[in-house]
Structure 1
């Protein structure tokens, strides 16, 4: 179960970073749908612990949020770079601007992955507790 979560989060971060660089959040929906369909094809319902429909919904939610987070973060980095280059036009300091945008864009996947991991843990705990409560009530 932990391996599935690690694979999902890694894939979501990579898909989010790549798609966010290409065309903003427009591709997030299609890319996340493809990712979650692919991962979900291996899912097997195990009542009351695993619900494939719930996992797919959680996958789409987390991937979409990660992709959107990356898109916003990268757009922010590039706007800060444009402002830096405008202030340092025809100057050697533009090299510093390039370095800053590199550091900024490198931090986006880590920041967004942290948010996704936190949300994923909260959702997993909520789903597990709901399943245990449901099983205890049925017994």
Structure 2
């Protein structure tokens, strides 16, 4: 690593990644700095699906994001289908979503896809999303 690279990295840490401040402080071209960082990021970034480590935990809420752990209804590995053990929970979540009483969303983290179901403060009224799909209709 060159002295310039070390200086740039130190300055990026000091400015919390502010390219404009780094370029001004070190007298380097802003766009060249952005290009350098994009090249470094593309070289170091892993591509594809990151495998989840270990089996699905017994308490799936530990995989949920802080503040939403109590709303986790199902988890799966990225790229896999939903495990059979979550079929009933997912069907119930879809019915509640279509009833307009809950919202559903997913996050992915460390190779896991986490499905959440959050009650709405005010009902949205009946919706036709999952119930209109023939593969999910009861």
Aligning the two structures, in what range does the TM-score lie when normalised by the shorter sequence?
A: under 0.3
Instruction: Judging by fraction of residues, say which structure has more strand.
Output: 2
Instruction: Judging by fraction of residues, say which structure has more helix.
Output: 1
Q: Give the TM-score normalised by structure 2.
A: 0.24
Q: Give the TM-score normalised by structure 1.
A: 0.23
Higher Cα radius of gyration: 2
